Each structure stands twice: as structure tokens, then as C-alpha cells.
Structure 1
């Protein structure tokens, strides 16, 4: 069984790429590097297949080889998370070839793995101003992709698989259907994008066909040598092309910085997803935000508790925090209007309560006046009773009683 036989059992492109990279690096660590460049040619892929077959016939101590592999990756400065991913890929390949580790060997392997779950790259956080600078140096396709990512929370791998039929730009808010086949978890979901993202995507759609025709003629316009004018994806680019686009806009914006320990850019495109989470949670419940991002622990419960309409309404409440190109003054004004509206509602509630209190008191006064009038009518016919009644009422009312009594006597 060759390495290609192992990879052929998987359908997801990301899984295939991850396992291929892991096993290639593993074989490089044992036999020396095969690839002349970053990507393997067909001849080099064939050589890796030969080495994978050779490895399985050499009666190697697989545990020792993996430990050597871990040390090799560590010396190259690979982060702990990357090392764990690489080792997991090699273990899957070995399992496919019939190699299983005992519980004791697995414990040994666990202790030899590097500790730490946080990436080593000195990443810089995205801000509204940072993203605005990046957008200023991107063409229409780059701006459309960035605004879609920042306002939807999608993974880049998901965004690059979205088809034309998945768009719902005529909805409010605009929405995109993320099929299960696009996701890491296999679960589908619906995401939303901002109004400015919709406008930019619409602009991109107007020139997309022309772009594809030009790219087909150039053959390398979007990083591929095959005919691509029939590509039905909204963003018909490869992962590598997106990385190139991202590097270019960072350089043009003066934001291109490399972490020397990991050789990665400090402003990573994944930071757009982090920006989505941290900003949307300012106005939207965390469980809804996590569900929109596709985190499986929240997906089921959120879709059980909220209707699609409720999710959209919740998104709209926080959409202003994901809006990049509108001025900060407008955003602050929107927030002030919202606060003022809340104050007005509070004042209205207080006034309504006062009005109800006044109505109750007015009714009581009417009843007391009616009762007092009855007492006066009775007292005016009896001078002794009238004298006693005056002892319990204000002086001003006594004068009225005297006048009333005179009229009563005269009549």
C-alpha cells in the first residue's frame, strides 16, 4: 500500500493536505528532503510513494522514529500545535498500514510531545483601523473576500468553497449557506454578512466572469493551470493565492511583519475571524456568536433555541460592530441614538406610571367631594351638627359652609 492509497480514502481537501504534509515531512526527516521547492512535483510525489513503501519494509521502531520526528520539528521551531497535528497525521498513516501502538507506547509518546496549546507566533490583533488600511490596498476581489470573512466569522477554507447557489444576498440580513461538506465538523449552518460586505460582493459578482476569462487565458491568474472559467465558487481562488493576496495587501499597507521564531506574518488572515468574535459579542449572546462561527458545541443548542429569524435579528443588533468602512462618528451616533431611545422608553414608562397615579388620586378626590357634599347637606339642616363638623375641617372650607348654611336657611 502506497502513501497515495492512504490519502485516497479521504474526501476533504484540507484533511488530504494536512496528512500529506505530515507524512512528507516525516519521510524527509528519515531519508532527507525530497522536494526541491515548497510543493512536490509529480516526480517527487512518486518518490515519496516509493519511500513510504520502503519504510514499511525496513522493520523500523516506529515509536523511536516518531520521537525523532518530534525532535526534528521542535528544532525547526514548529509550534506545539503544529507538531501535534503532524504527529497525528503520521499515526493515521501508520494505522492504515497496520501499525498500532500499545497503551504504554502511547503514554510514552504523550510525554514526549511538546507542551503548550498557544501558538508561538507573536500575532497582532486586528482593529477596525487596521482592517481599513488593508482594504484600502486591495482590489475588488480581495475587498469582497475580506469583508465577507470579517462580517461572517467563516473560516477561510469554508469561504473558498461557497458556491454561487449558496448566496442569499436578497435576504435581510444577507446570508450564506455553509454546507456540511465545507466545514471541519460536517455540520451545516447559515451565516450572515454586513450590508457593506453585500455591496462589495455584488460589485465583485459584476466583474467575476470577466476575471475568470482573463485568468483562464493567463493560466496562472488564480494559481492553477487548468481551465477555470466554469468554476462555480463565489471566490474561485486557491489557498495559496489567498496567502499571496494577503501578503501583498499587508506589504502595501505597511503592515507586513514576520515573526522570526515561526516565520509567519504577525497579522494573520485568521485574525479576521477573531475580530468577528470579539466584536459581535459586544451586542450578541456568546452562544449565538459561537454557533455562527461553526463551533460544534454551540451549533445544536443554538439552532434548537433560536429560529433562523431570531438569529438574523440578533446579528443585526451587533452588525455595526463588524462594519469597517463607515465612519467612527456614524457608529458612535448609532450607539448614542440607541442609548437615547432606551432613556426615552424609561421616561415614557415613568410618565405612564405617574398618569395612572394621578387618575387614581383624581377618582379618590371626586369620591371625597361627593361624600363631603352629602355631609354638608345634612349638617346645614342641624345647627349643632354643623358646629361639630366645623371642628374637623379647614377654615377655608368653614367659610364655604357658612355661606352654604345661609343659603340653606334662606331657602
Structure 2
């Protein structure tokens, strides 16, 4: 029994939700433009960031592999054709979305609850983009299985001395990036995206104007950085006048971070395959240290937490934001008055 009701999607809806690049394929039938479907590839390409595309791709592949465990197309990795097959069967009334979602859940014994919740959300959202939606009661019943689920976190304490130790075994450019992250509260993706033209080094503290396209929540914001971080930025720029400040990407930084964790014998979590100190903790360190000596609201706003952005920009003047940042600057400086270790020499010694 088919539990969903197909509704033809119009061209306006496709362009509104997907944009022309990922709007699916349009064919002329009986003199009218008819929307065919949003396929696996179309849906993945709707996401701008490479990391997001990887996550969405994984979730859809997992869903289709659970639904079609014996399909030769799945074995070949041809998920584009698998997605089209699913929609064709759905239109013919041969698929039961609710039962398929339950099948995905039963095949996901090894997935963490939040990961599985993301898989189900992506599967249902992909179907919704194709105008096949579960009745509200069934969707609610399905997602209620995950109500109250929270991730199990297991982290070591990250203090200034530990950050200094980590920096000592990172390559120089990674050391610079770590100091900028700790001294600004930026996400790694934001810090590896901003360009030389986005920085104002003529004021103190120096300012970085992050475009909406750089940020996770698609909201532009101003970021202040410590004097220490400013010097690292200047070093990374060198004599260049244009382009990104950090020429290497987040994946390369993560690779070197993992090598540093191995060199320092940092243990992995018992619950997830991740070291108990990870790069995002530099952002957490910024927030906690800043908040101990200055306004937490301003710390959250500078770090780009969406709930604080619009409200804080209305409530605080730039003068107040700068004043609070200067209060906290010494607390969020990684090497206060200390010469940094020779990272390359220390790294080679640790790897030996």
C-alpha cells in the first residue's frame, strides 16, 4: 500500500528550492514543461560546501543500500540510477515510504542515533523535494524514535599549555591557523575561506569581515582577532596582495592535526572514532576563556552562533564589542609573551 500522495511539481517550485543548476531535468510533454525529478546527484549538488555534499551523499547512499540490498546498481555504486528507480516505483505505487524508512532504521544497528536521525531526515527531505511527503502523523511517529537523543561526548581538557604543545608539533602554517582559530572563535571552514581583501589590519584589534558565503549559517559578520593572530595572518599573507590568506584547506589541516594527536599520544574516544582533542575545541576554548573575563553574549556573537547574531548587533555598538574583546584578549592569546617552539623540528622529533 502506498502511503504517499504524488503531486506534480511546477517549474516555479523547482527554481525556488533548487536553483537552475540542480533543478532536475525538464522535458517537454504534451506541449507543457513537466518536472521529472530531483535525482541523487541533483540533490547532493544543491549544497555549496564540499563537506555538506559528502554528508548528504553518504546519507542517501546508506538509505538506498538499505532499501535495495541486493541491487546490482548499488553494488556498482550507481546511486543516480538507483534514485531514479525509487521515484519511478513510488509513482507507480510500488513503494511504501514509511516501511522503507523503518527498513533503513533496522539496517543501521552500527550507526550512532544522531547519525541515523540525519540519514532519515535527508531521505525524507529528498523525497519532499520530489513532492512525495509522508503524512504528518507518520513522519512524527518515525522521528519520535529519536526524541531526546543527544551525542555522547568524551573530550580531554584543553587549556593553554595543551594548545602550545599541539602547536609545537604542527607544521608552521597549521600552527598559524590554530592560533587564529583560538584567537577569533572562527570555524575552520570560515578561517580557510576569507581573503586578503576581507581583512582590515589598520585598526586594533584587526578585523575580518566574513561574507555570508564563508559562514556555516550564511550570515555575514565581523570577527576580531588578537594581536598574536594578526601577526600570524601577516606572516601567511607575505608579499601577496590577493587571494585566500590560508592557501591550504580544512582537510589538509585536519590531516596534520591527526598526526599531531598521534605524536602526542592523545587517546581516542571510546564512543566515536575521534581523538579526544579535536580542532573544534579551539573554538570552545575561545568561548569559555573569553566568557570568564568579558561578555559571553559578545563572545557568542563573534564566534557566529546564529541565535546571538542579529540581536547582539542591535544591542551592542562596535565600540562596546571592541572594548569587551580587549578585556579578553590576553585570556585568548596562546603564547602570551612566550617564544613559540620551532614547530618543524619538534614535529620531526615527535615522529622519529
TM over 0.5: yes
| Closer/same/farther in 2, CA of residues 71 and 276 from structure 1, 3 Å limit | farther
What is the SS of the residue equivalent to 2:209? strand
Aligned to 2:185: 153
Aligned to 1:92: 125
| Closer/same/farther in 2, CA of residues 69 and 292 from structure 1, 3 Å limit | same
Q: 2:104 aligns with which of 53, 69, 84?
A: 69
Q: 1:241 aligns with which of 240, 252, 255?
A: 252
Q: 2:290 aligns with which of 270, 275, 280?
A: 280
Aligned to 2:9: none
Q: 2:135 aligns with which of 102, 105, 123?
A: 102
1:231 offset after TM fit, Å?
9.0
1:147 offset after TM fit, Å?
0.8
Q: Point out where structure 2 has 5 or more consecutive residues left out of the alignment.
A: 1-36, 339-352
1:327 offset after TM fit, Å?
5.6
1:214-293 maps to which residues of 2 (within 5 A)? 232-255=243-266, 257-293=267-303
Q: 1:126 aligns with which of 154, 158, 164?
A: 158
Aligned to 1:215: none
Spell out, residue by residue over 1:210-253, the C-alpha distance to the aligned partner (whole angstroms, 9 max, x if none): xxxxxxxxxxxxxxxxxxxx992222333322221110122223
CA contact (8 A) 1:140 1:204 kept: no
Instruction: Give the TM-score taking structure 2 as reference length.
Output: 0.76
Matched, 1:52 2:83: yes
Whole-Å separation in 2 of the counterparts to 1:147 and 1:169: 17
CA contact (8 A) 2:196 2:237 kept: no
Whole-Å separation in 1 of the counterparts to 2:102 and 2:306: 32
1:146 offset after TM fit, Å?
0.5
CA contact (8 A) 1:70 1:113 kept: no
1:12 offset after TM fit, Å?
4.5
Spell out, residue by residue over 1:29-56, the C-alpha distance to the aligned partner (whole angstroms, 9 max, x if none): 333599xxxxxxxx84xx1111111222
What is the SS of the residue equivalent to 2:293? coil
Q: RCO higher in 1 or 2 (8 Å CA, sep ≥ 6)?
A: 2
What RMSD over aligned residues (CA atoms) do the two structures have, in Å?
2.6
CA contact (8 A) 2:196 2:242 kept: no
1:206 offset after TM fit, Å?
2.6
Name whichever structure is richer in helix by fraction: 1
Q: 1:301 aligns with which of 311, 325, 330?
A: 311
| Closer/same/farther in 2, CA of residues 142 and 12 from structure 1, 3 Å limit | closer
1:142 offset after TM fit, Å?
0.2
Aligned to 2:31: none
Matched, 1:23 2:34: no
CA contact (8 A) 1:189 1:294 kept: yes
Whole-Å separation in 1 of the counterparts to 2:253 and 2:211: 21
CA contact (8 A) 1:140 1:203 kept: no
Spell out, residue by residue over 1:99-137, the C-alpha distance to the aligned partner (whole angstroms, 9 max, x if none): 1011111121122226422x2241223111111100011
1:13 offset after TM fit, Å?
4.2
| Closer/same/farther in 2, CA of residues 136 and 49 from structure 1, 3 Å limit | same
Spell out, residue by residue over 1:323-348, the C-alpha distance to the aligned partner (whole angstroms, 9 max, x if none): 111269xxxxxxxxxxxxxxxxxxxx
